[in-house]
Protein backbone atom coordinates (compact mmCIF):
# COMPACT_ATOMS: atom_id res chain seq x y z
CA UNK A 1 0.00 0.00 0.00
CA UNK A 2 1.52 3.35 -0.98
CA UNK A 3 2.04 5.80 1.78
CA UNK A 4 -1.01 8.05 1.51
CA UNK A 5 -0.26 10.19 4.53
CA UNK A 6 2.22 13.00 4.18
CA UNK A 7 3.15 15.73 6.52
CA UNK A 8 1.88 19.23 5.96
CA UNK A 9 5.42 20.33 5.34
CA UNK A 10 5.88 17.68 2.62
CA UNK A 11 2.59 18.70 0.98
CA UNK A 12 3.57 22.38 0.95
CA UNK A 13 6.98 21.58 -0.51
CA UNK A 14 5.46 19.35 -3.20
CA UNK A 15 2.97 22.06 -4.17
CA UNK A 16 5.68 24.72 -4.28
CA UNK A 17 7.87 22.58 -6.51
CA UNK A 18 4.93 21.83 -8.80
CA UNK A 19 4.29 25.56 -9.17
CA UNK A 20 7.97 26.26 -9.76
CA UNK A 21 8.26 28.35 -6.63
CA UNK A 22 10.14 25.93 -4.47
CA UNK A 23 13.43 25.76 -6.28
CA UNK A 24 15.84 22.94 -5.70
CA UNK A 25 17.19 24.18 -2.41
CA UNK A 26 15.61 22.35 0.48
CA UNK A 27 16.70 25.19 2.76
CA UNK A 28 14.58 27.65 0.79
CA UNK A 29 11.46 25.53 1.16
CA UNK A 30 12.18 24.90 4.79
CA UNK A 31 12.65 28.60 5.49
CA UNK A 32 9.44 29.47 3.65
CA UNK A 33 7.55 26.78 5.50
CA UNK A 34 8.98 27.88 8.85
CA UNK A 35 7.96 31.47 8.06
CA UNK A 36 4.46 30.32 7.12
CA UNK A 37 4.12 28.27 10.30
CA UNK A 38 5.39 31.16 12.45
CA UNK A 39 2.78 33.48 10.92
CA UNK A 40 0.10 30.83 11.45
CA UNK A 41 1.10 30.42 15.12
CA UNK A 42 1.11 34.19 15.64
CA UNK A 43 -2.28 34.55 13.99
CA UNK A 44 -3.75 31.71 16.04
CA UNK A 45 -2.33 33.17 19.24
CA UNK A 46 -3.80 36.58 18.46
CA UNK A 47 -7.16 35.09 17.49
CA UNK A 48 -7.42 32.92 20.59
CA UNK A 49 -6.45 35.84 22.86
CA UNK A 50 -9.18 38.02 21.34
CA UNK A 51 -11.75 35.22 21.73
CA UNK A 52 -10.69 34.88 25.38
CA UNK A 53 -11.13 38.62 25.99
CA UNK A 54 -14.51 38.65 24.26
CA UNK A 55 -15.67 35.63 26.25
CA UNK A 56 -14.62 37.27 29.52
CA UNK A 57 -16.47 40.47 28.57
CA UNK A 58 -19.55 38.42 27.75
CA UNK A 59 -19.42 36.68 31.11
CA UNK A 60 -18.95 39.99 32.91
CA UNK A 61 -21.91 41.51 31.09
CA UNK A 62 -24.17 39.06 32.89
CA UNK A 63 -22.95 40.18 36.32
CA UNK A 64 -25.19 42.48 38.28
CA UNK A 65 -23.88 45.97 38.63
CA UNK A 66 -24.69 48.48 41.37
CA UNK A 67 -26.29 50.79 38.84
CA UNK A 68 -28.78 48.09 37.86
CA UNK A 69 -29.98 47.40 41.40
CA UNK A 70 -33.51 48.53 42.08
CA UNK A 71 -34.14 50.96 44.87
CA UNK A 72 -36.62 49.74 47.41
CA UNK A 73 -39.02 52.54 48.24
CA UNK A 74 -40.96 51.93 51.40
CA UNK A 75 -44.60 52.78 51.01
CA UNK A 76 -46.71 53.11 54.15
CA UNK A 77 -49.07 50.42 52.88
CA UNK A 78 -46.14 47.99 52.79
CA UNK A 79 -45.61 48.19 56.54
CA UNK A 80 -47.62 46.83 59.42
CA UNK A 81 -48.44 50.42 60.43
CA UNK A 82 -49.82 51.15 56.97
CA UNK A 83 -52.17 48.21 57.14
CA UNK A 84 -53.90 49.61 60.23
Are 22 and 16 spatial neighbours (Cβ–Cβ below 8 Å)?
Answer: yes
Are 56 and 43 spatial neighbours (Cβ–Cβ below 8 Å)?
Answer: no
pLDDT at position 12 is 79
Of the two residues 37 and 18, the one the predictor is more confident about is: 37
Of the two residues 1 and 5, the one the predictor is more confident about is: 5
pLDDT at position 57 is 93
pLDDT at position 79 is 61
Largest CA distance in the chain: 100
Question: Tell me, what DSSP letter sits at residue 62?
Answer: T
Where does the pLDDT of residue 45 fall: very low under 50, low under 70, confident under 90, or very high at 90 and above?
very high
Amino acid sequence: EPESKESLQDAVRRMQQKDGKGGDAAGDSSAQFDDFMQRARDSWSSFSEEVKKTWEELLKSGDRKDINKKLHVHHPEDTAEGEK
